[in-house]
Structure 1
Amino acid sequence: MDTDEDLEALGEKLYDLIRPKHADMAPKLTGMLLELPGAVVGQMLQDEELLAEALDRALAALQPDDSKPPSRADDADSASSDSLGERLHDLVELHNTGQTQKITGMLLEQKKEAVLQLLSDPTLLEEKVQTALKTLQDCGQVRQETDVSDSSDRDEAEEIGETLFRLVQDMEPVHCADVTGMLLEMDPQTLQQIVSDRAMLEVAVQRAKSALEGALSPPQQRKD
């Protein structure tokens, strides 16, 4: 939030909603949820289902893994690792990044002690989540968007050209190919506009037709 007063007011509202169902853990749960971005917390106050889901995840992250009794060291280490991964996944999911699985996997690459620290320090976890998200955006998603753009630019241009040709053919069947070729010299943004705006297209076609007729007509000889 922007100010301490806003944060306090938000915390009071959140606490009032949590206390009836989780009286003993209301302060802890409220503190955990207040570590989330203000916009997310505000949405929780308006959406009971979203709040309930966030509380379930927070509770799951707080509860130790007592489902398995101690056994051999290898089994205990495996169970502990699985538990850490599940708890970290639940906490990361609270941040609504849309990349929970990938970010959790990145954070689990750290040593066990570092992961335990993330589970107990919401502020540190938020910093690590944001850093991981930026890394995914810079090194993954942006490159993917570039690859998609490189592979689809030609298809998109062909699609616009075909659409434009059909529209021009209805208006100017005789010189539709030449007029379409002239219009395709425009920048992509302008092409998108004229394809979706009939009035703009009519003006553009008329101008192209006039320019074409002027180019095709023989020069007039001046009479002295």
Structure 2
Amino acid sequence: MEDEEDLETLGEQLYSLIYPKHKEDAGKLTGMLLELPGPVLSQMLQDESLLMAAVEKALRALQLPQEPCKVTCKDEDDVSVSSDSLGEQLFELVDVYNTGHSQKITGMLLEQHKDAVLNLLSDPKVLEEQVTLALKTLKEQNVEETDVSDSSEADDTDKLGEKLFLLVEEIDPLHANDITGMLLEMEPAALQQLLTDHTVLENAVQKAQGALET
């Protein structure tokens, strides 16, 4: 019975907030929002921007053509209202930890079952543990990404080679392949200079030509 009374109280509070702006649809909108989880509703009562965002979504659902799927369309929209609201709440709580990865961590946590996400909203200790764990995972992924980027140096060299070949070909079409191969043995910084400074490139090509002739 307590739950029913709480819901009724929440309904009255929601209605009083929605009614001034949406007199005609206040009842319907309140009914739709009351299908959302309790913690979400409580948060909406404290955060007007969150409430207005949910009301806007519910309004759009009311305006959609209802004939083909009177029930499912409404349910799907409720789910999206719920998911978005959860995401916004979760982001605000995660952002408190100043990890620098609030968006990513929120996304990771939202992949869990809705009940688990609701638990995070209501239990700060569990949330802190999950944020720490997600941050650790992100750092490990970052290490892996760094490793991958090392292995992608070969791709970078290929791209440099293609650009360099085109430039060398203009100077010495006959030996462009051999000369490009020789130049690619230089340091990356020196290679970049060859691409940006034509005089330096010409000098390097002349040296390579001389080496080929000997």
TM-score bin (small chain): 0.3 to 0.5
TM-score w.r.t. length of structure 1: 0.43
**Normalized per residue, which structure has more helix?**
2
